[in-house]
Amino acid sequence: MKTIQAYRFALDLTPGQERDVLAHAGAARVAHNWALARVKAVMDQRAAERTYGVPEEMLTPTVSWTLPALRKAWNVAKPDVAPWWRECSKEAFNTGLDALARALKNWADSRSGKRAGRPVGFPGFKSRRRSIASVRFSTGTIRVESDRKHVVLPRLGRLKLHECARKLARRIDNGTARIMSACVRRDGGRWHVAFCVEVERPERLPARPGAVLGVDVGIRHLAVLSTGELIDNPRYLTSAHQRMRALARALARKTGPDRRTGRRASKRWERAAARLGRAHTRVANLRRDGLHKLTTRLTREYATVVIEDLNVAGMLANRKLGRHIADAGFAEIRRQLTYKTGWNGGRLILADRWYPSSKTCSGCGVVKTKLALSEREYQCGSCGLVLDRDLNAARNLAALAADATTAGSGPAAGRGADRKTPLAGLVALKRQPGTAPAGQTGTVSPQGETANRVLARAH
């Protein structure tokens, strides 16, 4: 199975190498800003001409904003715009132009409705102070040295890795990996190189080919598995919160930058900002490490994993819960499970966003109309089952796997798409007034279409 995968390593740059990389990142920014100004000038000119009533065919001609067109225009203009262009690799300018071409395409597609998800804004100019320094090389000498402690990149030469690259080097040596590009980037105060690699992965089967696992993600426990296992929520951000508040307070007391007066930040402010940034990076690193270990373990073991299709973007908007949900990384769990089930020969089933996994009894299938968030125990009125609320939900999710047909319920749908899990054994009934099943006397909530849809066994 061929996949595109990233291998990312921390770098130890010498001061001279750091200057070189920053010069390349600056070159990318210059090309980006120059091309953006050119596209904007033509767009503004056309808009102005339209207001004067100039007919459509007499307007200033449009400029193409595809990458080849931008590159061609840049190569004509670069002796004037950047007389120093020979000092940097052409890949540096390509990095900036490529970013712009993508940004403009995303903006245009979003405006014409071709792109799902949130609206994308018009690209802005990049600033030396605010943008993340990065440069991507896609041609030339890109290799990992045989000592596995150094990488060689065009123009930048031999860079020392902070960690050993043996995982990637082994794959390259036995011919199952091919480096397509390398991106050097500064994030969280540290330089990284990320290789975009085409990897030939061996076909794998999960350790338990027939096994089904329901995963109920939450805040109290990061995940409750249908096997009864509880995965603790480490709450990295909560534990680091106090220190971060202190760092943020210390930062606020120092002389920061002011865009109105053009005041530069003080050295102390910059050092304090870096300290706060490192604290955030540490939280992100801990979280990513924990989630990867969890999702790898689950997808290596179980052939079918069922999770709920949660509206994470909507939940993040909740002021009280948003921080905790972001800290737990719900969306990241789902993203990792999606591709890792593919790598390990399993499949992921997404339960419909409106599927009442918490309200259904995992013993007899009766659906409660009301279940307060404070009720931590699920108590069934018809069969007398008493079970932890989240474990009940996880078991219901696992049971969905038997009902869901294989077709159409594999990997996650694209962003913005609202795909429903087909349920073979369950049909949706619209409840009519006075037809509530025995034992359920709840009223239908007036605004919720969720409450109107009751799932009942068809057979």
Task: Using CB under 5 A, list all residues that contact Zn ion.
Answer: 361, 363-364, 380, 383, 385
Residue number with CB closer to Zn ion (321 or 383): 383
Residue number with CB closer to Zn ion (380 or 391): 380
Q: How far is the CB of 439 from Zn ion (least distance, A)?
A: 10
Q: What is the largest CA-CA distance in the chain?
A: 82
Number of CB atoms found within 10 A of residue 435's CB = 9
Residue number with CB closer to Zn ion (333 or 398): 398
- Torsion sign across C-alpha atoms 14, 17, 19, 25: negative
Residue number with CB closer to Zn ion (121 or 384): 384
Residue number with CB closer to Zn ion (363 or 425): 363
Secondary structure percentages of the chain, helix, strand, coil, to 5: 40, 20, 40
Q: Is 390 among the residues known to form the active site?
A: yes
Q: Catalytic: which of 308, 309, 327, 352? A: 308
Residue number with CB closer to Zn ion (256 or 381): 381
Classified as helix, coil or strand, 402 is helix
- What are the angstrom distances between the C-alpha of 364 and each of 124, 175, 243? 57, 54, 49
Length of the chain: 459
Q: How far is the CB of 274 from Zn ion (least distance, A)?
A: 56
Q: How far is the CB of 361 from Zn ion (least distance, A)?
A: 3
User: Could you write out the DSSP letters of every residue in 1-19?
Assistant: -EEEEEEEEEEE--HHHHH
Residue number with CB closer to Zn ion (183 or 361): 361
Place of tokens 């990488």: 151
Classified as helix, coil or strand, 198 is strand
Measure the CA–CA gap between 383 and 213, rounded to whole angstroms. 24
Report whether 250 contacts 272 (CB < 8 A): yes
What are residue 181's DSSP bridge partners?
Answer: 196
Q: Helices then strands (H, E): number in the chain?
A: 11, 16
Classified as helix, coil or strand, 456 is strand
Q: Catalytic: which of 216, 309, 327, 352? A: 216
Q: How far is the CB of 383 from Zn ion (least distance, A)?
A: 3
Q: How far is the CB of 367 from Zn ion (least distance, A)?
A: 10
Residue number with CB closer to Zn ion (290 or 381): 381
Strands (E), 226-346: 230-232, 302-308
Measure the CA–CA gap between 421 and 304, rounded to whole angstroms. 14
Report whether 361 contacts 392 (CB < 8 A): yes
Measure the CA–CA gap between 144 and 140, rounded to whole angstroms. 13
Residue number with CB closer to Zn ion (223 or 380): 380
Distance of CA 243 to the CA centre of its chain: 26
Q: How far is the CB of 364 from Zn ion (least distance, A)?
A: 3
Measure the CA–CA gap between 397 and 405, rounded to whole angstroms. 14
Number of CB atoms found within 10 A of residue 34's CB = 21
Q: Is 232 among the residues known to form the active site?
A: no
Q: How far is the CB of 362 from Zn ion (least distance, A)?
A: 8
Backbone phi and psi for residue 312, each to the nearest 5 degrees, phi listed first: -65, -40
Measure the CA–CA gap between 159 and 29, rounded to whole angstroms. 23
Q: How far is the CB of 374 from Zn ion (least distance, A)?
A: 20
Measure the CA–CA gap between 72 and 60, rounded to whole angstroms. 19
Instruction: List, by residue number, the catalytic residues.
Output: 216, 308, 390
